Structure 1
Amino acid sequence: MVPEGLTAWRVYLYAVSFIALIVAIAGAVNLIAIAIEVFIYPPPQPYPVPQYYPELPGSVAQVVVGLVVWGYHWMLLKKEH
C-alpha cells in the first residue's frame, strides 16, 4: 500500500526535480541566446577572427546535468505512484 500524502521524501523529490528543471531551462535559454548571436546577429568584423563563446560549455553542462538530475528524480517519483 502506497502512503497517500505529502511525505518528506516526496517533498525532496519534487524540490530537486523543480530546481533541476529550472537549471536545464536556464541553460537552454543561454544556448538560444548564443545561437541567435552566432546565426542571426553576428557582430561585424573587419577581418576573420576565430569565435569563442565562453558561455557555451557551461550552458551545455547546465542542460545535460539538469535534464539527467530531473529525469532521475522524476523517475523515482513515478515509481512512488
Structure 2
Amino acid sequence: MLRIECPCCGPRDHDEFRYGGDASVTRPRHDDPDPEAWYHYVYVRKNPPGQHSEFWQHVTGCRQWLVVERDTCDHSILSVGFART
C-alpha cells in the first residue's frame, strides 16, 4: 500500500490524494501561443523506471499541493514537501 506522509496531516493512504503530474516539467507561460510548446507540455513524457518528482494534492485532507519524490520501481516515498514555500 502506498502511504504519503502529508506535512500537515501525517501519514495517509494514497486514496486521499490526487496525482497532479510530473513536477519536473516546466509549464509554458500562460500567454504562450505556440501550440507545439503546449503539446509537449501536455502529452510528451518520458517514463523511465526509478526516481520521479510528482505533484500530489491532498484532496480529502488539508488540500495542499505537495511534491512527492517517489521511486516507481518499488513505490517507495523518498521525500514529501510543499509545492509552494
Q: Shorter chain as normaliser: what TM range?
A: under 0.3
Question: Quick check: which one's helix share is greater?
Answer: 1
The higher relative CO (CA closer than 8 Å, separation ≥ 6) is in 1
TM-score by length of 1: 0.22
TM-score by length of 2: 0.21
Higher strand content, 1 or 2: 2
Higher gyration radius (CA): 1
